[in-house]
Chains A and B, each alone.
Chain A
């Protein structure tokens, strides 16, 4: 079994807003194994992106990572000095973002932007960095690489820009690639191409991928392991086949039911009733209780722990606990 590359232990990231403290990441623990693709799924605002930004230590005020550990190769990233952390960012852990249209600096050439991490982290000269950059542009499947090297971002399409972002992320051979909804802003054919590219990278370079998404289709296609988040907490975690075959948490079951199925005509797709709770006023209960069709009295009074069941399946739900029967 592969070693843990990154392990989140009881991570807490809070945002201090005028409305109160938002626990964006609330006691989150999970691990990413070497060479594995881990998908984090959940609705908007459930803390997926903040978990990733906490890992990069790029949460900016009013947000603050205030508790827990993030172990990377056994070392706690949260205790590193800023200078040491900079050496990890873009070098050992790289990240691509949701919005390819705005993620590249409009006033610098593509080449400069790919070369930059190579010069910073690998100590390459401009000439070496240029050679490597052109190779990278070819690697992510863009023809006429030398010409693209001298182009500006506005001359490229969204799909091409996302490929460039991937090229930048891959430039220093990272151990982990964080992809924060990389295909959300792209149309379906380009989505498929970008996902193919990421799959190739994974098999070729053995890069672990932390893929943040709310698209279960993407999960089914890409993931080895899945973490489901809800209101800042991990509520279910399982290998991908296990999760799709046997979802335990009512929220995950709801998500899977809400997915459209090809060739099945439905006049209306299933939706989970209700809304994500206001993150400021969360009590000591199951955060899903008011939307859950199996809600019991204990769900309103006590928070369910994340317990491990058969087949490496973890879930936080009273339905599977002895306490739930009482």
Chain B
């Protein structure tokens, strides 16, 4: 187990180098840059700025400068924000994280219960309604359902603010601040949960349906085990095994932010910042953030592999 873990960690290193080369190449070779896009400055000043930021050097040279700084923990300056990339990321990422974490817990809990229930009552009225709702939610685009929710709950019913994270100009502290946050948060959280719960429910329903037909479930019932124990002890543990892979992939999603939903709800999250960085060719912010996500993806994979070993005795090493 330990040996396997070390081997997997060592495998991450070449992968991450490869990822950084590809990413840097793509971003650096995309046409345009943040100096050329500013039309008010003179050509002489542009050349001066390019020299200052190293944009006049060839791509491979720039890569090595970037890589050397990154290893030392310096991700560079965001040209758009005029601040170090790490500061910018740190400021916005947690705003996205708080929403993503709540959505993750909510959508997984709902999906497990609803999926299991509609599997054990397959083709019942309840199952039919759930299947309909799931497909309805899965087929709606996020900007549409987000705007619809704002129109209905925020504008018409006035149950929630239209957007933002805190009330503008408010300097509340302590519980009052938390309450303000909750009021701003529940609508985007609901929308994002609704969007992600559909696919997950479908996933757990299918997984459960497969497991309840297995011979060992029949064995458990023939032993005189209670139906609820059969489902939640004998079946669920097996049905959740394939979901571990999915859970690993949720780790980067926790930090990546929801670009479109954040835009719709005017939420100061990292997804929105990333989109803006892409538009203004803010290379260092783009590189820093994308590399961070790539690293998290690799970590997620590693974690799910490890969890798999713990949860499934058949995968465990002798």
Interface residues of A (CB under 8 A from B): 56, 58, 86-91, 94-95, 97, 99, 102-108, 116-117, 120-121, 152, 154, 165, 168
Tell me, in angstroms, the Cα distance from A94 to B312 when the chains sit together. 28
A89 near B223 (CB under 8 angstroms)?
yes
Given contact pairs A105-B216, A107-B311, A152-B313, A58 touches B222 in the complex (Cβ within 8 A): yes
Given contacts A105-B238, A107-B237, contact A90 B216 (CB under 8 A): no
A297–B222 Cα distance when bound, in Å, is: 45
Chain B residues lying within 8 Å of A91, measured Cβ to Cβ, are 224
Q: Which residues from chain A contact B214 at a C-beta distance below 8 Å? A: 102
CB distance from A117 to the nearest CB of B (A): 5
Chain A residues positioned under 8 Å from B238 (CB to CB): 105-107
* Any A CB within 8 A of the CB of B314: yes
A95 touches B312 (CB 8 A): no
- Across the interface, do B224 and A88 meet the contact criterion of CB distance under 8 Å? yes
Q: Point out the residue from B222, B226, B234, B313 that lies within 8 Å of A94, measured CB to CB.
A: B222
Question: Contact: B218 with A97, CB < 8 Å?
Answer: yes
Contact yes or no, A56 B225, CB < 8 A: no
Distance, CA A90 to CA B225, complexed state (A): 9
- What is the chain B residue whose CB lies nearest that of A105? B216
Residue of A nearest to B219 (CB): A103
Q: Are B216 and A154 in contact (CB under 8 A)?
A: no
Closest Cβ of chain A: how far from B309's Cβ, in Å? 13
Q: Is B221 an interface residue (CB 8 A)?
A: yes
B199-238 CB contacts (< 8 Å) to partner A: 214-216, 218-226, 234, 237-238
A residues less than 8 Å from B219 (CB atoms)? 97, 103-105, 165, 168
Bound-complex Cα distance A84 to B311 (A): 34
Contacts of A120 in B (CB 8 A): 223-225
CB <8 Å contact, A86 and B313: no
| A99, chain B: closest CB distance, angstroms | 5
Q: A168 CA to B224 CA in the complex, in Å? A: 12
| Complexed CA–CA distance, A116 and B233 (Å) | 12
From A168, which residue of chain B is reached at the shortest CB distance? Answer: B223
In the complex, besides A97-B219, A107-B241, A107-B312, 20 extra interface pairs with C-beta distance below 8 angstroms are A56-B222, A58-B221, A89-B221, A89-B223, A89-B224, A90-B222, A94-B222, A97-B222, A103-B218, A105-B220, A106-B314, A116-B220, A116-B225, A117-B224, A120-B223, A120-B224, A121-B224, A152-B314, A154-B313, A154-B314
- Cβ 8 A contact of A97, one of B215, B224, B311: B215
